[in-house]
Amino acid sequence: MKLSKIRYFLIFMGPILTITIIFYFMIGWCIYISMTDWRSARVSMKFVGLRNYFDVVQSREFYVSLINNIQWIALFMLPTTFLGLVIAYLIILTGKETIFRTIFLLPTAISMVVAGTLWVWMYATNGGINTLLRMIGLGSLARPWLSDPRTALYALIFVTVWQYLGFSIIVFEAAIKGIDRTLIEAAVVDGASGFQVFRYVILPQVRHGFLIAVPLLGLSALKVFDVVFVATRGGPGISTYVLAYYMWVKAFWWRFMADGAAIAVILLLLSLVLVIPYATYALRRWFG
């Protein structure tokens, strides 16, 4: 039985094309909505150009959200990546990978809604963390983590670090295991210490691990919504607003679909800023 090449092509490309068309149609539709006057429950498609974008970027919530998102990317992506790498290395050194991997991966398996609720209890004025601090004699550090606008954002960022660390560990574990063992053995024979092996042999060879982890973590930080919605709804005040939450508020509570779509498009553009350099670098490295 021999199928023609065209038929193979159709079998494989048909679904891919359909999905692609729908996918890009959705994006196109979202971009179009962002330029309409759909600002009530009634669907309205009158073209208004970039008005919604101007309105959105002029709002106070937008700036707070943008700055929070940038902080979120920096304070979430870097520690998660590096901790992931270090812990992955340590786990491999212990030789008890299965146990540790499971332990670190568990938080990743918990849904963000559950995790958010749990952490609200942990962070509460009389919650887990403060009780623990008082028990070990560090009562002066106890504070209402989520009630204080100065700490609320960082408390939420920590929740995402806790949640995504397992993912990062898995990625780096695989990357480290992909290194040719003879290189490590040679370094050990030459008298390199554990740290030196890590610094001079492993670190340079897990770059593709970074290539996977950094953009994906960056995108999760940019899209973060659930933990904010569950834990603080952007509060206290608007101190933990992020773009995705602002988009939800505008689209579903204000029912300003057009403004929500405008924020979505801005989010998309910001994501592209993260993804395009990654994609070009990765493609050049692996296929260039």
Partner 1 sequence: MIVISTTIAKYVLGGYFMVSKVVAYIAIAVIITAIVVGVAVYYLVPRPAPPAAPPPAKPPAKPAPPAKELIIYHWWTAGGEREAIDAVFKIFKEKIPGVKISENPIAGGAGAVMKPVIWQLLAAGTPPDTFQVHAGGELKEYVDAGYLEPVDDVWSELGLEKVIPGTLQAMCKFGGHYYAVPINVHRSNVLWYNPTVFKKLGIIEKFGDPRTWDLETLLKVCKYIKENAPKVLGKTVYPIAVATRHKWPLTHLFEVLLALHGGPEIYVKFWTGKFKYKDPKDPVWKAVRDVLRAIGIMAKEGYFNPDHPELTWDQAAAKVMKGECAMYIHGDWVAGYYMAVKAKYGEEWSAAPFPKKIFVCLSDCFNLPKKAPHRDIAIEWLRVVGSKEAQEKFNVIKGSIPARVDVKPKYPDPYRPETAEDWVKSTLVPSAVHGGLSKEAFVTAMHDILTYMISSIEMGTDVDKAVDYAVTQIAVAIERTGLVDFWKGYTIDYFITKR
Please give the residue ranges that form the binding site for partner 1 (CB under 8 A). Answer: 5-6, 8-9, 12-13, 17, 20-21, 24-25, 28-29, 32, 39-43, 45, 55, 60-61, 120, 123-125, 144, 146-147, 149-150, 152, 231-239, 249, 252-256
Least spacing, CB of residue 77 vs partner 1, in Å: 27
Q: Which of 100, 123 has the CB closer to partner 1?
A: 123
Give yes or no for a contact between 243 and 65, defined as CB atoms under 8 angstroms apart: yes
Residue 68 to residue 74: CA distance in whole angstroms: 10
Least spacing, CB of residue 230 vs partner 1, in Å: 10
Q: Which of 210, 246 has the CB closer to partner 1?
A: 246
Q: Which of 118, 184 has the CB closer to partner 1?
A: 118
Neighbouring-strand partners of residue 47:
36
Q: Which of 63, 254 has the CB closer to partner 1?
A: 254
How close are the terminal C-alpha atoms of the chain, in Å? 37
Q: CA nearest 161: which of 67, 128, 277, 153?
A: 153
Give yes or no for a contact between 242 and 69, defined as CB atoms under 8 angstroms apart: yes
Q: Which of 32, 82 has the CB closer to partner 1?
A: 32
Least spacing, CB of residue 74 vs partner 1, in Å: 24
Least spacing, CB of residue 149 vs partner 1, in Å: 5
Least spacing, CB of residue 66 vs partner 1, in Å: 16
Least spacing, CB of residue 113 vs partner 1, in Å: 11
Helix axes 60-94, 207-223, angle to 10 degrees: 140
Q: Which of 8, 200 has the CB closer to partner 1?
A: 8
Burial of 83 (0-12, 13-18, 19+ CB in 10 A): middle
Cα Rg of the chain, angstroms:
23
* Torsion from C-alpha of 37, 39, 41, 45, nearest 10 degrees: 10
